[in-house]
Structure 1
Amino acid sequence: MEHKNSERFLIAFNRIDKSLMKITGLPNHFSFSKKIDRAKSQHALVAHYEDDLREFGSLRNAIVHNRTGFDYAIAEPHDDVVKLIENIDERLSNPVTVKDLFSGKVHIVQADESLATGLRLVRKWKINQLPIYKKGQFIGLITADGIMNWLADQETDCISREIPTLLDVYNHEKRKKTYRFVKSSMSVYEAEGFFRKSIVSGKRLQALLITEQGGKDEKLIGIITPLDLLKIDE
């Protein structure tokens, strides 16, 4: 038996309502609109579809409160509306994780390796961030800004004679905490939210570093930059 659009819409709406409660921790008696208000600052997908979700709330009220019988709804949503709300429901209920999209070989460097080694990685793999380790312990992130700062601080006639280590370069990073470790099960939308919040706070993140449980002493299994997320949205 084929379900009516109104039935499919209400099923998806109720599932989204439960997802919003899970995101916000708000109890069921709070209005759908209040849940959106709270969730949009915590979840990038909710923020992206805020206007659509609010319209869904109004449409849901029209369907539910104006029924004239069990088999009759005063408003039957268009196919496109049903497809959109079901798509949002699916993405909230079964979000794509950072591990799904960004796990793979991560190019790391050692503190005692030369700057030339790091630059070869940058050139070959077209990357702008290099996680640096010393004796198996994570130290921080070498960025393009750090390399430029190192160059700017050198005497011109010394650059060709000295062979700097990557630790020398890292010590010229003006902001050391430009990264955050995240667990592999985090949704892509939560990851996007971290970057957004960092911009608002004025402490912009250069990268999110993925480990299984989000600990810096675990094996690094992936890295995400703001540019990576922009490519997904294209």
Structure 2
Amino acid sequence: MGKRAESFINSFNRLEKFLKEELKAPANMGFAEVVRRLSRQRNSPVAVYENDLLQMAQLRNAIVHEKIAEDFVIAEPNEWALKRMTEIQQAIMEPEKVLPRFRKHVTGFEKNIPVQDIFAKIAEKHYSQFPIYNRGQFLGLITVQGIGFWAAQECADGHLDVTKKTAQDILANPLKTPNYRFCHENTSIAEVEKWFRELQPLEAVLITKNGESDGTLLGIIRPRDLRFEH
């Protein structure tokens, strides 16, 4: 067996043992069934890698069960497969959390902030997300994209007057689907990646200690932070 095949099998075996212990699976349960059951569990990092894991299992089977001789196997994993197997193993067994990587100061704004001030923040500080509150109670998230949609509706007659408009006016015309989601500080980055893939139009994930909307903001994740684009 070549070095890549040996490294691949060692990484696969460590992950298989870990997953079976997580599920408390009987010894005779197959790897594919373990993966499928864990993928159905809420917030399981396995769900993110389910398809890859099932493909890796096929490669493992080819290496282990289709050997022509002791030192010769039909399927020798390439560098990509070995690297991917190692990445998945580490991501599941030691998943990176949203903090500290995405910890940052996030400014919240009261609902009565004038739209003109929001425009000024965009121009001066390049803000693109505006969490809006009413005395500590979270009301919604205004984004540059959302402002664009609102402005288009407001100037249907060719004129846009924002002199008396506030953030509350923008929130009065919300998107049909919330454009934000909250997560707690121990949420895995893999789970957030899954949200950006599957939940549309998700424009930001807001981090609080317990994932509650009225908690202190500890950070924010945007699609571009994870190289996702709508």
Instruction: Place the TM-score, normalised by the shorter chain, in its bin.
Output: 0.7 to 0.9
Is 1:63–1:73's contact at 8 Å kept on the other side of the alignment? no
- Verify: 1:16 aligned to 2:15, yes or no: yes
Q: Which residue of 1 aligns with 2:181?
A: 180
Matches within 5 A, 1:63-74: 63-65=63-65, 72=70, 74=72
Q: Look up the SS of the partner of 1:186 in the other structure.
A: coil
SS at match of 2:199: helix
Decide whether the 8 Å contact of 2:8 with 2:77 is kept in 1: no
Aligned identity (percent) is: 29
- Deviation for aligned residue 1:145: 4.5
Whole-angstrom distance in 2 between the partners of 1:55 and 1:158: 55
Greater share of residues in helix: 1
Q: Secondary structure at the match of 2:213?
A: coil
CA apart distance, 1:217: 2.0
State the SS of the aligned residue for 1:130: strand
Question: Is residue 21–residue 35 contact of structure 1 (8 Å, CA) maintained in 2?
Answer: yes
Deviations 1:110-149 (A, max 9, x none): 1121112222222344443211011122111113354234
CA–CA distance in structure 1, aligned partners of residues 143 and 38 of structure 2: 33
User: Alignment partner of 1:100: what SS?
Assistant: coil
Is 1:218 aligned to 2:215, yes or no?
yes
Shift of 1:181: 0.7
User: Which residue matches 1:99?
Assistant: 99
* CA–CA separation in structure 2 for the residues paired with 1:174 and 1:56: 40
Task: Identify unmatched segments of 5+ residues in structure 1.
Answer: none
Q: By how many angstroms is 1:219 displaced?
A: 0.7
How many equivalent residue pairs? 219
Q: State the partner residue of 1:164.
A: 165
SS in 1 for 2:140: strand
**Is residue 30 from structure 1 mapped to residue 33 from structure 2 by the alignment?**
no
C-alpha displacement of 1:211: 1.0
The amino acid that maps onto 1:206 is E
- Alpha-carbon displacement from aligned partner over 1:185-233 (angstroms, at most 9, x marks no partner): 211111011122214xxxx2221111122111211111112222216x9
- Alpha-carbon distance between aligned partners in 2 of 1:79 and 1:54, rounded to the nearest angstrom: 17
Please tell me whether the aligned partners of residues 97 and 185 of structure 2 are also in contact (alpha carbons under 8 angstroms).
yes
- Flag the 1:165–1:108 CA change in 2: closer, same or farther, 3 A: same
- Asked whether the 8 Å contact 2:5–2:77 carries over to 1, the reply is no
In structure 1, distance between residues paired with 2:38 and 2:19: 6
The answer as to 2:117 corresponding to 1:120 is no
Cα distance in 2, alignment partners of residues 9 and 126 from structure 1: 45
**TM-score scaled by structure 2?**
0.75
Structure 1 8/105 Cα, relative in aligned 2: closer, same or farther at 3 Å? same
The two structures have a TM-score, normalised by structure 1, of 0.74
- Say if 1:145 and 1:86 are closer, same or farther in 2 by CA, change over 3 A: closer
Secondary structure of the 2:214 match is coil
Report SS of the residue matched to 2:99.
helix
Task: Give the whole-Å Cα distance in 2 for the aligned partners of 1:169 and 1:40.
Answer: 39
| Residue matched to 2:197 | 196
Cα displacement (A) at 1:159? 0.7
Partner of 1:207: 204
